């Protein structure tokens, strides 16, 4: 049964892969949450106060405080660490030190290198332009697909090394983050990953899990209104 007014509120937009990452962690743990829309490019003053880096998401835990800075946490990685402590089962951060280190690295790598290549390099030039009524920046997106993304995917393919999960023997924060950020590309472009077979298999398995598919479906509904069919960037 879902709460009418859940304790956890994610400020942001489902179009953000980092918002979907936090939503995915909540879904994996069976924790109720709500996404409260905030336009990060024109934020209300109260949001600026709780988001020092002027980014989404920011989490509010209403069980701590209903307003002000208390009970809020910026940054998806900090938020996911908080949710893990508050709702430990199922664990999404491996217990084994080596696996934990790898999971945290892959999370960071996906949040930065993959998000720059796929989000800033591909999603933004297409979707931001279309949203403004401009022609999609396909040249920039094709350049990112051909040149910026492959070294990042090579690294992921090598570290995954044909396994089902990036770290340990169960879904972790690493798998959730990679899937959410990769799906940012899927919002606007076809995703032929045959050159990275291990990653392709991982992505295919992850994208059908409710923790990935449910937040993505909300984002896709919004994006498809402006962009009915993803582009072929090859």
Q: Which is nearer to ligand GSH, 34 or 80 (CB)?
A: 80
- Footprint on this chain of ligand GSH (rule: CB under 6 A): 16-18, 40, 54-57, 75-77, 111
Q: What are phi and psi of 170, to 5 degrees?
A: -150, 165
State the nearest-atom distance from the C-beta of 112 to ligand GSH, in Å: 7
* Residues 80, 116: Cα–Cα separation, whole Å: 20
- CB of 222 closer than 8 Å to CB of 180: no
- CA-CA-CA-CA torsion sign (74, 157, 202, 136): positive
Q: In whole angstroms, give the CA distance from residue 114 to residue 120.
A: 9
Shortest distance, position 161 Cβ to ligand GSH, whole Å: 25
Closer CB to ligand GSH, residue 10 or residue 196? Answer: 10
Q: From CA 181, how far away is CA 58, in angstroms rounded?
A: 18
In the complex, minimum distance from the CB of residue 19 to ligand GSH, in angstroms, rounded to a whole number: 7
Between 144 and 196, CB nearer to ligand GSH? 144
79: left (phi over 0), alpha (psi -120 to 50) or beta: alpha
Q: How far is the CB of 67 from ligand GSH (least distance, A)?
A: 21
- Cβ proximity to ligand GSH, 98 vs 217, nearer residue: 217
Report in angstroms how near the CB of residue 210 gets to ligand GSH at its nearest. Answer: 21
Q: What is the spatial distance between Cα 230 and Cα 234, in angstroms, rounded to a whole number?
A: 12
Q: Which is nearer to ligand GSH, 44 or 192 (CB)?
A: 44
Measured between alpha carbons, how far is 161 from 176 in angstroms, rounded to an integer?
A: 17
**Whose Cβ is closer to ligand GSH: residue 111's or residue 175's?**
111
Q: Smallest distance from the beta carbon of 201 to ligand GSH, in angstroms?
A: 26
- CA 151 to each of CA 27, 143, 154, 217: distance values in angstroms, whole numbers, following the listed order: 31, 13, 5, 28
**Strand, helix or coil at 119?**
helix
């Amino acid at each position: 049964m879902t709460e009418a007014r859940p304790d956890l509120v994610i400020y942001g937009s489902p179009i953000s892969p980092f918002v979907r990452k936090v939503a995915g962690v909540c879904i994996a743990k069976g924790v109720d949450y709500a996404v409260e829309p905030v336009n990060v490019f024109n934020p209300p003053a109260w949001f600026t106060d709780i988001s020092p880096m002027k980014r989404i998401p920011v989490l509010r835990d209403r069980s701590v405080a209903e307003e002000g800075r208390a009970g809020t946490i910026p940054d998806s990685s900090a938020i996911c660490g908080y949710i893990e402590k508050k709702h430990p089962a199922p664990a999404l951060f491996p217990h084994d030190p080596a696996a934990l280190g790898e999971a945290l690295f892959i999370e960071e790598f996906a949040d930065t290198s993959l998000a720059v290549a796929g989000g800033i390099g591909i999603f933004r030039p297409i979707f931001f332009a279309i949203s403004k009524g401009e022609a999609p920046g396909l040249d920039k997106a094709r350049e990112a697909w051909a040149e910026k993304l492959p070294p990042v995917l090579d690294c992921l393919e090598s570290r995954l090394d044909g396994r089902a999960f990036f770290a340990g023997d169960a879904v972790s924060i690493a798998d959730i983050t990679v899937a959410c950020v990769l799906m940012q590309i899927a919002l606007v472009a076809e995703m032929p990953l045959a050159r990275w077979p291990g990653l392709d298999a991982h992505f295919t398995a992850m994208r059908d899990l409710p923790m990935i598919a449910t937040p993505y479906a909300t984002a896709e509904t919004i994006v498809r209104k402006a962009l009915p069919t993803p582009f072929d960037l090859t």
